[in-house]
Amino acid sequence: MSTRPPGGWPWPPLAAIAYAFTSSAYVIGAQGEADMIARLSARAHGLPVVATCAAAVGALRAAGAARVCLVDPPWFDAALNGLGRAYYEAAGFEVCFSAPCALPSDQARIRPGDLHDWVAGHVPDRAEAVVIGGNGLRAVG
């Protein structure tokens, strides 16, 4: 879908706008992210606008998960991970585990299998879902 915003500047042929910054959502919180999405939507001329954490919340709700674990990249410090915990708690989830994964703090050295093994060794049995934060964390091989 291509539209012309006021002033005549042509949009490239976009189907959606995706804001993929987990840590930004953690810092501004769930309501701040919702407000940001609303502001972008108002200016997007009909294009859908999605953001990482809001999309994760929607997926968790669709799956019926209430108890989640949050695993962040190793380059997220404890304070940022704490903001992530607060984000998901504010969205109504019980966060039964939250930590940056103890893997090399180097995107090129993260291997999905190593991440899987770390997560499997730390997720409590009562967890219903795992949220892997950080859009730069290689979680899929």
46: domain CATH number is 3.40.50.12500
Residue 138 lies in a domain: no
Domain that holds residue 22: 17-132
Domain assignment present for 10: no
The answer to whether residue 100 sits within a structural domain is yes
Q: Is residue 8 part of a domain?
A: no
Q: Which residue has the tokens 């991970």?
A: 81
Residue 92, helix vs strand vs coil: coil
Q: Tell whether the model's pLDDT for residue 11 goes beyond 70.
A: no
Residue 6 pLDDT exceeds 60: no
Among residues 65, 109, 117, the alpha carbon closest in space to that of 91 is found at: 65
- Dump pLDDT digits (tens) for 103-127: 988 888 888 899 999 999 999 999 9
User: Residue 8 pLDDT more than 60?
Assistant: no
Whole-angstrom CA distances from 50 to 31, 70, 82, 96, 137 are: 14, 20, 23, 26, 19
- Higher pLDDT among residues 27 and 141, named by residue: 27
Domain contains 128: yes
136 pLDDT band, cuts 50/70/90, is: confident
Evaluate whether residue 140 is within a structural domain: no
Q: Is residue 6 part of a domain?
A: no
Residue whose C-alpha is closest to residue 37's, from 59, 55, 11: 55
Q: Which residues neighbour 61 within 8 Å (Cβ) at sequence distance 6 or greater?
A: none
Number of structural domains in the chain: 1
Over the chain, what is the mean pLDDT? 89
For 69-102, what is each residue's pLDDT tens digit? 999 999 999 999 999 999 999 999 999 999 999 9
Whether residue 137 has pLDDT greater than 70: yes
Residue range 29-41: average pLDDT? 93
For residue range 58-68, list pLDDT tens digits in order: 999 999 999 99
